[in-house]
Amino acid sequence: MKWFASFFILIRISFLVYPQMEDQYISYQQDKIIDNFNKGREGVLSSSNKISESYAHVNNLLDKPAPSPQLTQFPQELQAIATLEIPKIQLGLPVFEGVTEETLSYGVGMMNNSLDLENNGNTALAAHRGYREGKLFNRLDEVTEGDHIVLTTPSGSYEYEVR
């Protein structure tokens, strides 16, 4: 009977610890993606031809069928096209092309029909707000008028002011 009680206690502890461990794992993966993006950004030439080739490569990767999403196994082909920072709420996330369950599990998704990030106009970005999805946009309600949002792409950084 003691082994059953011990086993039951171990199961309950596992249920309590799992969300924190999953959150730490997702945060680690986000940091890794941002680091890879920043390393790649340093080597990008300013030539528009090179940038076009880079976007074509990302599009080819995203056209491949996605594996079944599992938070315990990080998808290797997921590559950031930008990073999004909101200093007021200490938020730094990778931005991926497309809004899928996979991209939203690890960062911000950019709608496929949105404008290119470097052009004037509107770009639609999406991310989860819930705890189970890595606390991505869960503090967005703390952002107020006058706060700044920084979007960093291979060709440069763009700073926006909330109005």
Q: What is the pTM of this model?
A: 0.61
Nearest to 9 by CA among 132, 24, 17: 17
58: left (phi over 0), alpha (psi -120 to 50) or beta: alpha
| pLDDT attached to residue 114 | 64
Q: pLDDT by residue for the chain (163 residues), tens digit each?
A: 788 888 888 888 888 888 888 888 888 888 888 888 877 766 554 444 555 665 666 566 556 554 554 444 555 578 888 899 999 998 899 999 888 888 888 889 888 766 566 667 777 888 888 755 456 788 888 899 999 999 898 888 889 899 8
- Close Cβ partners of 118 (under 8 Å, ≥ 6 residues apart): 153, 155, 156, 158
CA distance 99 to 112: 8
Count of domains in the chain? 1
Residue 127, domain CATH: 2.40.260.10
Q: Which helix (H) or strand (E) holds 158?
A: strand 156-161
| pLDDT attached to residue 72 | 47
| Angle (CA) 102 105 109, round 5° | 75
| pLDDT attached to residue 94 | 92
- Residue 40 identity: G
CA distance 88 to 145: 11
| pLDDT attached to residue 16 | 86
| pLDDT attached to residue 60 | 65
Concatenated DSSP letters of 63-132: HSPPPPP-TTS--TT---SEEEEEGGGTEEEEEEES--HHHHHHSEEEPTTSPPTTSSS---EE---SGG
| Boundaries of domain holding 28 | 2-161
Q: What is the largest CA-CA distance in the chain?
A: 71
